Structure 1
């Protein structure tokens, strides 16, 4: 059996690892795979760190039954509910983030997808954001069709976000109101119209390491190079409220394996990072090189100022990566 160093050299030489090889790596000593993953990250990505922020552009009353989500209408969670935010608020928040060094701003909305009227409204907001700021705009508006995606691109969106969440095998255990194939079709439609795509998943949904690797391989096959790695924040009132919170070691192992599988990606710590004692520092030394900064959708995050200090301490520089 090959050593971790041999697998690392194989990746550095430009080869892609198989599922079987990833499973071997996933069970190797943690410090060894994290150090190797960090070398792979340095080789392919340098010290570039893709830091972005998000705004909850439409909150609650979602028709979907995703078991992790506080915004689902299926569960008795206590969250603020409101329709699509007005342009003034979206622009104000974009300016706030840009002034603090964030280079990418994502508008995220609840519901299976925005309707055509909502897409037209948010496109006007995006045009204003692009006119009044220099920040890149990402959109996370659900399972849109190709015509809607073209409208977003024409309005100034450069990236669309659509998480797979977990593996194809595990997805029916997480959500039954839409399918894995619907997610993949939206991703493929976005790629067809020339949009960049960001897609990853949530760790802690009852999945196995094999499920995580299967998801990462699907993402790699789709050609996606921005991969959010969320850690479940168990929300009271959701079916996953009693799921265990992952440890730092859990998350470091996951991001290290993902780095071996998709060596040139932006591997982005996202939701749940605030639950880690070090706010993700060890993960940023184990293959991760991107993050969502500021508050999440319905939970608190880590301030942009705090994150910028972390990047400086680790020798990273904020940069748009895989744009």
Structure 2
């Protein structure tokens, strides 16, 4: 108990320092970031923490169902733009869409939000990266853990080497690099120094810090999710080590009580909340309140739909009229569900 008191005192001081560093480098704002997924299928399916590792591979038609229509993606991008949600990254399983189709979709999404998006589709080859370069802000590597022994064990078919090569290629092409980390996979605080080195060596400018969400059927199903103090410790140390890095916290629906703590620890933004299903809910309101408690202005809204002409938003799309008609229908469905 005495040890935990010492840790809490140290953490408090650490968070104070991190908060000062944050305020010296960023405005007092925060926002929600939505990952835009074009598929829920994956050719690997053996990362030990992932729900896909316990799904049956049935192939055929069911695999096709795991790919979203481009119209649905455009509708969601329109929602993001008008509700002030930023797009964390455009993501999906490798080979779920042909590269030329991904390029076409990227162009339209960039048109909607007025800037290039981050791309997170696995380790991309240099030749493909060159084609994507004009249409993306940078690449995201789903690294999950930088403890190499742990990585080999937990992500056996997703080695680090191809990601490190992609980061090098992306940097040479003038793109930005970002990575994801999941805390609670078996790493400890001792791994922080390795993470620091990895960030420096791979020119990482943005990092998504998630806390493990144990999935039934996986080896982690009976493991506890890391405490909020542990996630805060990692975020605060990152903020102090890298004053200008963009840090995003992943929270899930059951971790809303940690938002203000993680913002005070130096996180920039919030993700991993199922917003279209939980729009206007008590949890959504609580996120906005937690932001205020951390003395941050919440940009955009998780609770109020703006009174705008949604059809006109669709009409602005650089696509054929038959595509626009489907986007309008999809957008209508989203808004109806969010209003209910």
TM-score, normalising length from structure 1?
A: 0.78
1:201 deviates by 0.5
Q: Distance in 2 between matches of 1:125 and 1:91?
A: 8
What is the match of residue 164 of structure 1? 143
What is the match of residue 246 of structure 2? 266
What is the match of residue 124 of structure 1? 104
Counting helix residues as a fraction of each chain, which structure ranks higher? Answer: 2
Contact 2:18 2:236 in 1 (8 A): yes
Contact 1:142 1:162 in 2 (8 A): yes
1:64 deviates by 4.2
Selected match of 2:17 from 20, 36, 39: 36
For structure 1, which segment, 182-191 or 129-138, has the greater mean C-alpha deviation from structure 2 after superposition?
129-138
Contact 1:104 1:136 in 2 (8 A): no
What is the match of residue 292 of structure 1? 271
Going from structure 1 to structure 2, the CA distance change for 1:61 and 1:287 (only over 3 Å counts) comes to closer
Q: Distance in 2 between matches of 1:158 and 1:249?
A: 32
Stretches of structure 1 lacking an aligned partner (at least 5 in a row): 1-25
For structure 1, which segment, 186-195 or 26-35, has the greater mean C-alpha deviation from structure 2 after superposition?
26-35
Contact 1:54 1:295 in 2 (8 A): no
RMSD: 3.1
Contact 2:278 2:284 in 1 (8 A): no
CA deviation map 1:127-174 (0-9, x unaligned): 1222344254221111110121122223x2212211321124321121
Q: Does 1:252 align with 2:229?
A: no
CA deviation map 1:252-280 (0-9, x unaligned): 1121111122221111102x443325142
Q: Does 1:231 align with 2:211?
A: yes
Contact 1:37 1:286 in 2 (8 A): yes
What is the match of residue 276 of structure 1? 255
Contact 1:140 1:161 in 2 (8 A): yes
Q: Distance in 2 between matches of 1:203 and 1:37?
A: 19
Contact 2:171 2:203 in 1 (8 A): no
Q: Distance in 1 between matches of 2:49 and 2:218?
A: 6
3-state SS in 1 of match to 2:257: coil
Q: Distance in 2 between matches of 1:101 and 1:122?
A: 24
Q: Distance in 1 between matches of 2:56 and 2:186?
A: 21
CA deviation map 1:168-187 (0-9, x unaligned): 43211211113111221122
Q: Distance in 2 between matches of 1:302 and 1:121?
A: 34
What is the match of residue 76 of structure 2? 93
Q: Does 1:188 align with 2:168?
A: yes
Selected match of 2:126 from 136, 139, 146: 146
Selected match of 2:51 from 70, 74, 89: 70
What is the match of residue 4 of structure 1? none
Contact 2:146 2:194 in 1 (8 A): yes
CA deviation map 1:35-58 (0-9, x unaligned): 111111111223254642112211
Q: Aligned pairs, how many?
A: 286
Q: Distance in 2 between matches of 1:63 and 1:183?
A: 15
Contact 2:183 2:210 in 1 (8 A): yes
What is the match of residue 60 of structure 1? 41
Q: Distance in 2 between matches of 1:28 and 1:300?
A: 35
TM-score, normalising length from structure 2?
A: 0.74
What is the match of residue 222 of structure 1? 202
Going from structure 1 to structure 2, the CA distance change for 1:248 and 1:45 (only over 3 Å counts) comes to same
Q: Distance in 2 between matches of 1:128 and 1:190?
A: 22
Q: Distance in 1 between matches of 2:16 and 2:55?
A: 43
Contact 1:274 1:301 in 2 (8 A): no
Q: Distance in 1 between matches of 2:160 and 2:69?
A: 31
